Amino acid sequence: MALGVILRSFTRAMGQLGDRRFRRVLLLGVGLSLTLLIAATAGFAYLVEWVTPDNTTLPGLGEVNWLDDLLSWGALFLLLGLSVFLMIPVASAISSMFLDDVADAVEDVHYPTLPPAHRLSLGDSIRDGVNFLGVLIGANLLALILYLLFAPAALFIFWGLNGFLLGREYFTLAALRRHDRAVTKRLRRRHAGTIWIAGVLMAVPLSVPLINLLVPILGAATFTHLYHALVPHSDAASLRYPQR
């Protein structure tokens, strides 16, 4: 039953990928992420060049005047390499600030009779996005120990961990549009197993380059459908819709 609801929600989300509001969020996430990473790389390279003296004396080499260039180029290539790994979480975090637009698009097409949803303020969206990015990166850094200890199962650990985190994040996004945080937590606990399985479905594409950039949009759309499947409109109304 739960698996059928999840697959139905995912299929409906996939069917709406051509929506212009979906494309807008994708382009915003990728574009702002690239801008941020390029600016960070250039700024760090400039900082290294600024703090490194023009002339330095090295044991056995004497005075050299190329150390600042070496460190600047080294910093540039280091950050370019790191950006390959940072691009996805950064793009996901930035995209999450605009995922209300994705949920609006889903509800406009599939649930047009619903009352207007409550939208988080820009400040709350930025705070939640930054918090999620921190938790996502921190949890995966800690999981490196498990990856090393249980190398053959590393991919499954990755999917399970990130499935839990993504499911929690995207269900919260969908539910907060209709309820306060206390009710959202109760709903999340009640449907924890289904949310986790759906989150794992979102985590699998994280392993596929470029496709993983679609995860925030697919996640928001899928969990909007999943929320409406798990919480019938009559029940949702009894749990109190927030006032706009």
Task: Say if CB 227 and CB 103 are below 8 A apart.
Answer: no
How many domains would you assign to the chain? Answer: 1
- Residues 171-219 have pLDDT tens digits of 998 998 888 889 999 999 999 999 999 999 988 887 776 677 788 888 8
Residue 243 pLDDT more than 50?
no
- Residues 164-181 have pLDDT tens digits of 888 988 899 899 888 888
What is the Cα–Cα distance from 48 to 74, expressed in whole angstroms? 10
In this structure, is residue 109 part of a structural domain?
A: yes
What is the Cα–Cα distance from 172 to 146, expressed in whole angstroms? 27
What per-residue confidence (pLDDT) applies to 188? 93
Give the CA-trace dihedral at 9, 161, 148, 74, to 10 degrees. Answer: 80
What per-residue confidence (pLDDT) applies to 242? 46
Between residues 108 and 49, the one the model is more confident about: 108
In this structure, is residue 217 part of a structural domain?
A: yes
pTM: 0.73
Residue 115 pLDDT more than 50?
yes
pLDDT confidence band for 226 (50 / 70 / 90): very high
In this structure, is residue 166 part of a structural domain?
A: yes
Mean per-residue pLDDT for 210-234?
84
Q: What is the mean pLDDT of the chain?
A: 77
In this structure, is residue 24 part of a structural domain?
A: no
In this structure, is residue 208 part of a structural domain?
A: yes
Range of the domain at 206: 2-17+87-238
- The whole-angstrom distance between residue 46's C-alpha and the CA centroid of its chain comes to 29
Residue 64 pLDDT more than 60?
no
What is the Cα–Cα distance from 231 to 214, expressed in whole angstroms? 25
pLDDT confidence band for 117 (50 / 70 / 90): confident
In this structure, is residue 34 part of a structural domain?
A: no
Which of 187, 174, 184 lies closest to 224 in space, CA to CA? 174
In this structure, is residue 53 part of a structural domain?
A: no
Which of 185, 143, 146, 144 lies closest to 168 in space, CA to CA? 185
User: What percentage of the chain carries pLDDT values higher than 90?
Assistant: 19
pLDDT confidence band for 23 (50 / 70 / 90): confident
- Residues 131-177 have pLDDT tens digits of 777 777 787 778 888 888 888 888 898 888 888 888 988 899 899 88
Burial class (CB in 10 A: 0-12, 13-18, 19+), 27: exposed
In this structure, is residue 157 part of a structural domain?
A: yes
- Within 10 angstroms of residue 84's Cβ, the number of other Cβ atoms is 10
What per-residue confidence (pLDDT) applies to 127? 76
